[in-house]
């Protein structure tokens, strides 16, 4: 993880939440039309939690745990989440990261709703249209609130998948660097190896989530593995790999699938590791690290509704850069969009139905995971090379130093949306703009 802090010292710990993730299945109470309703309550509250490092910290949690409870819902269902705020003196919201919800449900404090005040509550309702791996987090002062623990996973199971499937191990692994602002600089990484006993032959699906701003390196060794989905959208390339090393950008998700072999399989997120073992033992972790996976494919053209050669109704270029400025009254690096910082970055204006092309040009020395709310972007090209293989859809695209990406999306979800760097400290320093509909 990288620099966390914009003010005071910060305690930080890398936290790798695997099966320890608390899971909630919605109470399936009523049917809306022919769809079920999955109801949940998430209560924002302070709690003392134990990080993987062993350290006990005073975190901000949903329902007393961080990561917050994993919300497990079925594709097509109506999801209804009541957010209750019991934090002292701070407002919170819930943003459904990667889910293209109606604008009023997007949870952006000051844009789509007011922050939910202490003692108050708010009900979010949206349909789980697309199966996949998503996450939720507070979107009020998010650089502080997410780091302190106000986030969790949202998993949408395919329409016909059983909620409990004994032949499949389905596990979400959130990688988080915890931190607060109490001035205690106890920088640390979790080192404990977690173990899971998994019988040979069992299918394992790992849903990797990076809640941090910098890319996290996830490495899986010990079994042939397939990348099944990126940012909640299935991919069919590059097929089965001998192992995987993946730079999961800030806010992004990757789903990996493998069949449990007779030997241990190790998943490592930078330092911390989880070992999946047929016998519950640790086993050797000696396999050489595989090469880094490149999600961009340049092979067979894929059938998508639009592509690099389409006619675009609007084209925008966003230059990601850095410059010295002031932040909270002190000299600091500011991250800029077209040489401006929020709220001075001009809005992207579109009309309903437009096909929109955006070119992200990173002139800075940092990674900027650009997250567009309410829409999914198809990656058209990187550094001038057209991507043509398995359609690569993202909601959060890590644009590395010096890189240029062309992406496209269909403007089909009217409202006022954010497009911002998901390095939330960069966003707090001004790397935010809005997408609006005329």
Handedness of CA 130, 115, 399, 179 (dihedral sign): negative
DSSP 358-391: EEEEE-SSS-EEEEETT--EEEEEETTEEP-SS-
Question: Per CB under 6 A, does 196 bind ligand C2O?
Answer: no
Site string for ligand C2O, 214-253 (x = CB under 6 A): -------------------------------------x--
d(CA 126, CA 242): 39
Q: List CB contacts of 153: < 8 A, sequence separation 6 or more.
A: 21, 67, 70, 71, 133, 134, 135, 136, 172, 174, 207, 209
* Token pair recorded at residue 70: 């994993």
Q: Residue 421 binds what, of Cu ion, ligand C2O, none (CB under 5 to 8 Å, by partner type)?
A: Cu ion
Question: Per CB under 6 A, does 422 bind ligand C2O?
Answer: yes
Of 339, 374, 305, nearest to 97 (Cα)?
374
Cis peptide bond upstream of 238, omega within 30 = yes
Q: Which is nearer to Cu ion, 253 or 426 (CB)?
A: 426
Q: List CB contacts of 84: < 8 A, sequence separation 6 or more.
A: 41, 42, 43, 44, 121
Burial class from Cβ neighbours inside 10 Å (0-12, 13-18, 19+) for residue 34 reads exposed
Q: Scan residues 347-406 and list those touching ligand C2O (CB under 6 A).
A: 371, 373
Nearest approach, Cβ of 366 to Cu ion (angstroms)?
Answer: 6
Nearest approach, Cβ of 134 to ligand C2O (angstroms)?
Answer: 10
Q: Residue 426 binds what, of Cu ion, ligand C2O, none (CB under 5 to 8 Å, by partner type)?
A: Cu ion
Q: Residue 418 binds what, of ligand C2O, Cu ion, none (CB under 5 to 8 Å, by partner type)?
A: ligand C2O
Nearest approach, Cβ of 90 to ligand C2O (angstroms)?
Answer: 18
Q: Which of 15, 39, 139, 376 is the binder for ligand C2O (CB under 6 A)?
A: 139
Q: Which of 39, 74, 137, 367 is the binder for ligand C2O (CB under 6 A)?
A: 137
In the chain, % helix, strand, coil (3-state, to 5) comes to 5, 50, 50
Nearest approach, Cβ of 432 to ligand C2O (angstroms)?
Answer: 8
Q: How many residues bind ligand C2O (CB under 6 A)?
A: 10
Q: Residue 368 binds what, of ligand C2O, Cu ion, none (CB under 5 to 8 Å, by partner type)?
A: Cu ion
Residue 423 CB neighbour total at 10 angstroms: 28
Q: Considering only the stretches 19-27, 295-303, 351-359, 415-423, report the one whose residues sit in contact with ligand C2O under the rule CB under 6 A.
A: 415-423
Q: Scan residues 361-380 and list those touching Cu ion (CB under 5 A).
A: 368
Nearest approach, Cβ of 221 to Cu ion (angstroms)?
Answer: 30
Helices (H), 305-355: none
Q: Residue 95 binds what, of ligand C2O, Cu ion, none (CB under 5 to 8 Å, by partner type)?
A: ligand C2O
d(CA 11, CA 177): 9
Question: Per CB under 6 A, does 418 bind ligand C2O?
Answer: yes
Question: Per CB under 6 A, does 97 bind ligand C2O?
Answer: yes
Q: Which is nearer to Cu ion, 72 or 432 (CB)?
A: 432
Question: Per CB under 6 A, does 95 bind ligand C2O?
Answer: yes
Nearest approach, Cβ of 427 to ligand C2O (angstroms)?
Answer: 7
Cα-flanking dihedrals φ and ψ of residue 146, to 5°? -70, -45
Q: Which is nearer to ligand C2O, 139 or 297 (CB)?
A: 139
Q: Scan residues 415-434 and list those touching Cu ion (CB under 5 A).
A: 421, 423, 426
Cα-flanking dihedrals φ and ψ of residue 105, to 5°? -100, 5
Question: Per CB under 5 A, does 175 bind Cu ion?
Answer: no
Q: Residue 253 binds what, of Cu ion, ligand C2O, none (CB under 5 to 8 Å, by partner type)?
A: none
Asked whether 389 and 297 are in contact (CB, 8 A), the reply is yes
Q: Residue 423 binds what, of ligand C2O, Cu ion, none (CB under 5 to 8 Å, by partner type)?
A: Cu ion
Question: Per CB under 6 A, does 434 bind ligand C2O?
Answer: no
For the chain, the C-alpha Rg in angstroms (whole number) is 21
Q: Which is nearer to Cu ion, 95 or 426 (CB)?
A: 426
d(CA 106, CA 360): 23
Nearest approach, Cβ of 396 to ligand C2O (angstroms)?
Answer: 7
- 3-state SS track over 24-36: EECEEEEEECCEE
Q: Residue 420 binds what, of Cu ion, ligand C2O, none (CB under 5 to 8 Å, by partner type)?
A: ligand C2O
* Token pair recorded at residue 335: 């991250």
d(CA 155, CA 134): 6
Chain contacts with ligand C2O (rule: CB under 6 A): 95, 97, 137, 139, 251, 371, 373, 418, 420, 422
Chain contacts with Cu ion (rule: CB under 5 A): 368, 421, 423, 426
């Amino acid at each position: 993880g990288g620099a966390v802090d914009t003010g005071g010292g910060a305690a930080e710990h890398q936290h790798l939440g695997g099966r320890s993730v608390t899971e909630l299945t919605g109470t399936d109470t009523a049917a809306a039309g022919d769809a079920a309703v999955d109801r949940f309550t998430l209560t924002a509250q302070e709690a003392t939690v134990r990080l993987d490092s062993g350290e006990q910290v005073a975190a901000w949690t949903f329902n007393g745990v961080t990561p917050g409870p994993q919300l497990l819902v079925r594709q097509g269902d109506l999801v209804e989440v009541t957010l209750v705020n019991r934090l002292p003196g701070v407002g919170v919201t819930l943003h459904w990261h990667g889910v293209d919800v109606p604008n009023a449900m997007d949870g952006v404090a000051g844009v789509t709703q007011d922050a939910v005040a202490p003692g108050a509550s708010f009900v979010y309702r949206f349909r789980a249209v697309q199966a996949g791996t998503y996450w939720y987090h507070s979107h009020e002062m998010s650089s502080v609130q997410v780091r302190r623990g106000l986030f969790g996973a949202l998993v949408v199971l395919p329409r016909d998948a059983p909620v409990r499937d004994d032949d499949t191990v389905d596990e979400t692994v959130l990688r988080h660097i915890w931190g607060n602002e109490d001035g205690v600089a106890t920088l640390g990484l979790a080192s404990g190896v977690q173990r899971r006993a998994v019988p040979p032959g069992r299918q394992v699906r790992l849903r990797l989530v990076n809640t941090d701003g910098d890319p996290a390196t996830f490495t899986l060794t010990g079994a042939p593995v397939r990348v099944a989905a990126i940012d909640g959208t299935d991919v069919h390339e590059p097929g089965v790999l001998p192992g995987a090393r993946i730079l999961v950008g800030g806010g992004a998700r990757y789903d990996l699938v493998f069949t449990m072999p007779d030997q241990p399989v190790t998943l490592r997120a930078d330092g911390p590791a989880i070992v999946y073992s047929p016998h519950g033992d640790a086993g050797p972790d000696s396999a050489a690290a595989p090469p880094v996976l490149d999600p961009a494919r340049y092979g067979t053209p894929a059938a998508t509704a639009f592509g690099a050669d389409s006619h675009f109704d609007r084209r925008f270029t966003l230059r990601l850069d850095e410059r010295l400025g002031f932040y909270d009254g002190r000299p600091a690096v500011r991250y800029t969009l077209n040489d401006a910082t929020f709220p001075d970055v001009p809005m992207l204006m579109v009309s309903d139905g437009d096909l929109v092309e955006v070119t992200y040009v990173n002139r800075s020395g940092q990674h900027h995971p650009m997250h567009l709310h309410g829409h999914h972007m198809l990656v058209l090209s990187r550094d001038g090379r057209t991507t043509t293989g398995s359609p690569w859809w993202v909601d959060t695209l890590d644009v590395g130093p010096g890189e240029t990406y062309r992406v496209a999306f269909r403007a089909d979800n009217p409202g006022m949306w954010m497009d911002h760097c998901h390095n939330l400290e960069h966003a707090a320093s001004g790397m935010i703009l809005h997408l609006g509909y005329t």
